[in-house]
Amino acid sequence: MNPNELSKFPTVVVIGGGFGGIQVAKQLANKPVEVILLDKHNYHTFQPLLYQVATGGLEAESIGFSLRKNFEGQKNLRFRIAEVSKIDTESNIVHTDIGPIPYDYLVIATGSTTNFFGNKDIEKYAMPMKSIPEALNLRYMVLQNLEEAILKPSKEERAPYLSFVLVGAGPTGVELAGALAELRNHVLNKDYPELAKEEMKVYLVDFLPKVLGPFSDEGSKAAQGFLTKMGVEVLLNVKVESYNGEEIKFEGGKSIRTKNVIWSAGVAGVVPDGVGKEAIERGNRIKVDNVCRMVGSSNIFAIGDVAAMITDDTPKGHPGVAQVAIQMGQLTGKNINRIIRGEQPEPFKYFDKGSLATIGRNKAIADLGKIRFQGFFAWLIWMFVHLISLMGGRNRVIVFINWVASYMNNNGGSRLIIRKFKPEELASKTEQVSKPD
């Protein structure tokens, strides 16, 4: 690529190679623009399967896909690993750790991060799971605490190492709970004959009265039933008060001694510095109009988890799911083309394809509009949808083999502690989220 040759075309800078950012870049292939895609990692993360990386069922590389590989052959695109420090909306420049990058159009597709709602202690001691490095930390922590448990002589001393408290009963919490219950029910006795299965406890906690909040009541009830049957203790209408690394306390007096608190109770948008306060909505999201344009700007777009498109139909904005990001990304890529051609951008219309969540190794919940079903068939649908959504043929084959192996022998996963997780690293985990690690 000769940069001089391209300089006559407008530059579109896309921040973030998640579900949304990738679609924007794809729509701009072979168009008269220069695309610069920035991400702090050199890979796309297939977030819906992060929980399987955390529980050892899949390798990190099966749900990560090289952004360079993905855009091989797209001649008008350059990819850079970069950390954005600030956006200068006056001069149209993105400031990064690899230098300033001028843009004609900017797409903010930075996604969301874990929201601890300002509770610094919980932030310090609880584990988030929004990125591959965080999922790996979680995997190593679980394994290390099982190893630690067998060194303790009494049941009481073992208890905090063997108690897993998942806060937030959305899809992430539910899927993690299922996977940890499988680990307890099928692997623990084989790998750790010193430990009794009953000593390992999995708790799923939410302040709402139901699991899988946004799902139908039918799906939500079925999920709770599956979890309970697998031995997960579901605690609803329960608010977390504090966690000090040793004991989690709930409003009303109940508490659990545990070294393992996993927090998936909320997210907040990752908004780059330089976005005006007037454009920030609840949940630290960027307020956008109906074509995903940041309010008050003519050439900056925000899509996916970081965007809040408040309309009469969506008073809280759209749900933070992959489909919203993908559809916003496709539209925004097309709209930038339209704007460059002098046409009007088209408004966003979300097509809700439905929701899926899996529980354990062979059950799932499917809420596909008015069609709702639960159990084994839903799990087949879940498998199929996730396999075709993965990037890369090799990833699909390898994930499929892993799932078949784990379905058949109930002992999937490699369970290696490749890099020891050090709890003191948690103190700086917010930093980890924003920096490549």
Binding to a copy of itself in span 117-136, by CB under 8 A? 132-133, 136
Q: Which of 5, 72, 312, 424 binds a copy of itself (CB under 8 A)?
A: 72
Residue 326 CA to residue 337 CA, distance in Å, equals 17
Q: Which stretch binds a copy of itself (CB under 8 A): 13-21, 27-35, 60-68, 258-266?
A: 60-68
CB burial of 11-50 (b: ≥16 within 10 Å; e: otherwise) equals bbbbbbbbbbbbbbbbbbeebebbbbbbbbbebbbbbbbb
Q: Decide if residue 197 touches a copy of itself (CB under 8 A).
A: no
**Residue 41 binds to a copy of itself (criterion: CB under 8 A):** yes
Give the integer Cα–Cα distance in Å for 374 and 383: 13
Asked if residue 419 binds a copy of itself (CB under 8 A), the reply is: yes
The 10 Å CB-count burial string (b at 16+, else e) for 332-368 is bbbbbbebbeeeebeebebeeeebbbbbbbbbbbbbe
Tell me which residue of 54, 58, 25 sits closest to 39, measured CA to CA: 25
Point out the catalytic residue in the list 175, 281, 343, 424: 175
User: Which one-letter DSSP state was computed for residue 345?
Assistant: P
Q: Which C-beta is closer to a copy of itself: that of 374 or that of 402?
A: 402
Q: Which stretch binds a copy of itself (CB under 8 A): 40-48, 235-243, 250-258, 303-311?
A: 40-48
By C-beta, is 208 or 387 nearer to a copy of itself? 387
Out of 7, 32, 68, 384, the residue judged to bind a copy of itself by CB under 8 A: 68
**Residue 175 catalytic?**
yes
Interaction of residue 75 with a copy of itself, rule CB under 8 A: yes
Q: How far apart are the first and last CA of the chain?
A: 29
Q: Distance (Å, rounded) from C-alpha 173 to C-alpha 261?
A: 11
Q: Is 152 in the site for a copy of itself (CB under 8 A)?
A: no
The minimum distance between CB 392 and a copy of itself, in angstroms, equals 8
Rule CB under 8 A: is residue 194 a binding residue for a copy of itself? yes
What are the angstrom distances between the C-alpha of 226 and each of 174, 297, 418, 431? Answer: 10, 48, 32, 37
Interface with a copy of itself (CB under 8 A): 1, 41-43, 59-61, 64-66, 68-69, 72-73, 75, 78, 80-81, 98, 132-133, 136, 143, 147, 150-151, 190-194, 393-394, 397-398, 401-402, 405, 411-412, 414-420, 435-437
Query: Could you give the residue numbers annotated as active site?
Result: 175
